[in-house]
Structure formats: C-alpha cells, structure tokens
Amino acid sequence: MSHRIDEIDAKILELLQRDGRMQRSDVAEEVDLSISAVSERMRKLEERDVIEEYRAVVDAKRLRLDITAFIRVSVDGSEHYPNFVDQVEGMEQVLELHSITGAGSHLMKVRTTDTTALEGFLSDIQAISGVSKTTTSIVLSTFKEERTVPTEPMELYDYDASSDE
C-alpha cells in the first residue's frame, strides 16, 4: 500500500473538501479517471485516515448559536489534565479543545446561544477540579473561518492519531 499522496489524490482531497457530497462521477471527470479508480483511491485515503469523515458544515448562527468565544484555561498540574479533557470532550458547546504552550494549558473554541449561556458554561469549566483560571475572548466578527487544509503531493506522515486527540 502506497503511503504517498500523488497529484490525483491531492486533487480528489481538494474537491471533496470543497464539496463532500460531490458525486464520484464528477470527481472522476475532474481528475480524468474512471469512477471505479476514484472509488478505490477514496477507499485507500479513508483506510489511511487521510479522509477521516464526511459531514455537513452548518451555519451556527442560523441555529441561534450566536456567541463564539475562545477560552484560555489554566489547569494546575498535569495530574488534572486527563479529568479536564474527559469532562470538556463531553460538553456540546466545545467545538475545539487544544493543549497549548504559553499562558494557560488549554484553548477552547465554544459556541453558545447568548452571553447568559456562556456565563453558565464558564461556571461549569471553572468548577472542574484543577482549573485555576479562565480568560475568555468573545468573537465580534469573523472574516475568515477556513475548514479545509491545503493538499499537495507528498509522503504521508505516520503518527499515532490517538496522541493528537
């Protein structure tokens, strides 16, 4: 099994990131391959965890999730990290959770309906054992929010995907 992304794989990834519902026949036409060849390439990209999943991108504001905030959290001591991560992963308001360097230990991107809901969420976060501080920035306007990554021919990087989660 090849561990390389060639120009055709890169183009397939680019197309699917723009439109995950794109028909395989349309992908095949764009990359000048048969539908079966494109299907096989997509299957291999899925098996190699290059394509993790397919999903719809939803406009959060249309669903009344009007507040986007970034919350920097300080968790005192690495012994508290696993419990903190476990609890936060189950919170539906959390869109992203990152372990970071610099001020704080974690950065979260959250969405809530309003500032009252955000205040309640912050109370829940601050009540988690080991959390010593939170600093919140509320987004006023978003000018760019990219959901795609650049693709190009390359050797795949092998890493333990579970360590990135």
Q: Which CATH class is domain 60-138?
A: alpha beta
- Per-residue pLDDT, averaged over 144-163, amounts to 76
- Per-residue pLDDT, averaged over 14-41, amounts to 96
Residue 155 phi/psi, 5° resolution? -80, 140
Torsion sign over Cα 131, 126, 65, 56: positive
Task: Fill in the DSSP letter of residue 156.
Answer: P
CATH of region 1-57, choose from 1.10.10.10, 3.90.1300.10, 3.40.50.300, 3.40.50.10090: 1.10.10.10
Cβ proximity of 67 and 135 under 8 Å: no
> Tell me, what's the pLDDT at 100?
96
- Per-residue pLDDT, averaged over 27-41, amounts to 97
**Poorest-confidence range of 3-7, 92-96, 131-135, 155-159?**
155-159
In angstroms, the CA 7 to CA 80 distance is 44
Domain span(s) for CATH 3.30.70.920 in the chain: 60-138
Other CB atoms within 10 Å distance of the CB of residue 11: 18
Query: Which pLDDT band holds residue 1 (cuts at 50, 70, 90)?
Result: very low
pTM: 0.80
Residue 33 phi/psi, 5° resolution? -130, 170
Domain span(s) for CATH 1.10.10.10 in the chain: 1-57
Query: Which pLDDT band holds residue 163 (cuts at 50, 70, 90)?
Result: low
